[in-house]
Amino acid sequence: MSSVRHPKLGVVVDFANCVPGAQTRIVSDQRRMYLDEGRQPWAYYGPMVAAIRRALADPSPQLALELAVAKVEDSAKHGHFVELQKGFQRWQEGFRGTLVPVGTGTWVGADAVFDVAPQLGLRPAKGPKLAVQLYMKEPELRPEAAAVPLHMMRSVMDQVLPDGIPAILDVRRGKLLLPSRRRSDKRLDADVAGVVAHWSAIWRAIA
């Protein structure tokens, strides 16, 4: 059995992004993953996360990614890793900056507690530091869905990366999503409360 203390923020990303009617299936899948160490997403995608970190620090980033892809024997997983490699390289071509240390935090709400552990800390050539959550899944991450976990991340940035801002990198699309300026904090607080309450109700119901 897994010794995970709290679900990670990634479950909120996936839940907020799923299509209507798929919420129960998504949470059921998430619960099974948390109880089966072999299926946990950080185990599946871990080699690519490590390769992305190396690529950001390596003068030959393409080689670091290619080595991670080449080590994958399963054909389906290999296909996923190829897509992740291509998407990340597209994004990295336009990025100028360096890695910085990034910490972890805990988001505490009325209905649930989530561990916030961005995979990357970045210092762009221009602008503030970024605490970046990597989104690796096949469905494109919709900006309105990303707004919920980004707002949750923002509330714990003093723990994660002081003076930084949260971001989510949709790796397959090579697209960096930042906190929305279109919604007020009051609206975002309400969005977060609604999503977390819905997720928590399903999580408890299927226990």
Show me where the domains of the chain are located.
10-205
User: What pLDDT is recorded for position 180?
Assistant: 82
User: What pLDDT is recorded for position 42?
Assistant: 65
Q: Is the confidence at residue 39, as pLDDT, over 70?
A: no
Check: CB of residue 168 under 8 Å from CB of residue 150.
yes
Q: Are β-strands 130-135 and 113-116 bridged in parallel, bridged antiparallel, or unpaired?
A: unpaired
User: What pLDDT is recorded for position 113?
Assistant: 95
Strand partners, 166: 131
User: What pLDDT is recorded for position 43?
Assistant: 75
* Contact residues for 205 (Cβ-Cβ < 8 A; gap 6+): none
Q: Which amino acid is at 138?
A: E
Taking the whole predicted model, whether its pTM rises above 0.85 is answered as: yes
- Report pLDDT digits (tens) over 84-128: 999 999 999 999 999 999 999 999 999 899 999 999 999 999 999
- Report pLDDT digits (tens) over 151-206: 999 999 999 999 999 999 999 999 999 998 888 999 999 999 999 999 999 999 98
User: In the chain, what percentage of residues exceed pLDDT 70?
Assistant: 94
| Number of helices followed by number of strands (H, E) in the chain | 9, 7
